[in-house]
Amino acid sequence: MKKNNFIYVGLLIMILLAGCAVRKSASNSVPTLVGKKWQLVELNGSVVPATVNGKMPYLELDEESGRYGASGGCNGVGGEYSLKKNNGISFSRGMSTMMACEDMSIENGLRTLFDEADTYKVMEDTMILSKGRDGDALAKFTLVVDQSDKLTGTWELDYIMEPETDFNTLYATRKPTITFDLAKNKVNGNSSCNNFSGTVSIDGHAISFGPLMSTKMACPGNGEQVFFKNIERVTSFDVQDSTLTMIMDDIVVMRWQKK
């Protein structure tokens, strides 16, 4: 009888360990996908701007609730999702807000995506949703990494998008500077002539500047005009070492060096 009890206990331990191993294996695959914010960068083969209607298009999958949240730059879209074997995934639509925005194309494309996508793939910082394991990519996302802390401090401009005039001619006597105060979501600096200040909004790699107020000195040349025109165009940024790059969609419009 005791021998049978030992056998029973041994089998029970083996079953529990096997169960733990299965759960561990599943949980190891999930963190590559869920609990993160993914920025939509391509939809049906077309590049998606960093901001649409002033907002970053994104997708988030919550592991605990089994729900997803997304935006195409207008309304919040959400519902339930399910992960399946062999990188299968399915989405069901839930409630969403009903605002009308100037550009609804990305939002409408996302709704179609959630109806069609049934397979996902994660490669480092890129996630791809497709229809079928061998199907073409319906959408590509990049992992949103918070770089806002790297912006803190003062930067000096060393490139600006202006095909008509050489950079050194535009800023022969003084280069523009910008200083970020992220605790207050504010910026200040000098446009090469007048001082300016205002607000800044950051969401992942997306960035936009609020109304920038400046002093009113008369300035020679058109360097200041070119500066304010380009900083209004900026939709995203990237920081590598001591270089800050400001981008409009996929075009570099300004580059700065840390002072």
pLDDT of residue 203: 83
| Fold held by 148-258 | Lipocalin (2.40.128)
| Fold held by 30-143 | Lipocalin (2.40.128)
pLDDT of residue 200: 96
Provide the Cα torsion 97, 100, 106, 111; round to 10°. 40
What backbone torsions phi and psi does residue 195 show, to the nearest 5 degrees? -80, 150
pLDDT of residue 31: 59
Collect all residues with Cβ–Cβ distance below 8 Å to 46 and sequence separation of at least 6. none
pLDDT of residue 30: 54
What backbone torsions phi and psi does residue 216 show, to the nearest 5 degrees? -120, 35
Q: pLDDT 10s digit of each residue in the chain, 259 long?
A: 444 444 444 444 443 333 333 333 333 445 588 999 999 999 999 999 888 887 889 999 999 999 999 999 898 889 999 999 999 999 998 777 778 899 999 999 999 999 999 999 999 899 999 998 888 899 999 998 888 889 999 999 999 999 889 999 999 999 999 999 999 999 999 999 999 999 999 988 889 999 999 999 999 999 999 999 999 999 989 898 899 999 987 789 999 999 9
Strand partners, 107: none
Q: C-alpha 134: how far from its chain's center?
A: 27
Q: How far apart are the first and last CA of the chain?
A: 80
Structure tokens at 31: 């963190």
180, with CB counted inside 10 A (0-12, 13-18, 19+), is: buried
The vertex-34 CA angle with 32 and 40, nearest 5°, equals: 90
Residue intervals of the chain classified under CATH 2.40.128.270 are: 30-143, 148-258
- Return the SS3 of 31: helix
Whether 216 and 204 have beta carbons less than 8 Å apart is answered as no
pLDDT of residue 22: 32
pLDDT of residue 149: 86
| Nearest-angstrom CA–CA distance, 222 and 97 | 44
| Nearest-angstrom CA–CA distance, 227 and 192 | 9
Global model pTM greater than 0.75? no
- Return the SS3 of 83: strand
- Return the SS3 of 61: strand
Q: What is the DSSP letter of 142?
A: E
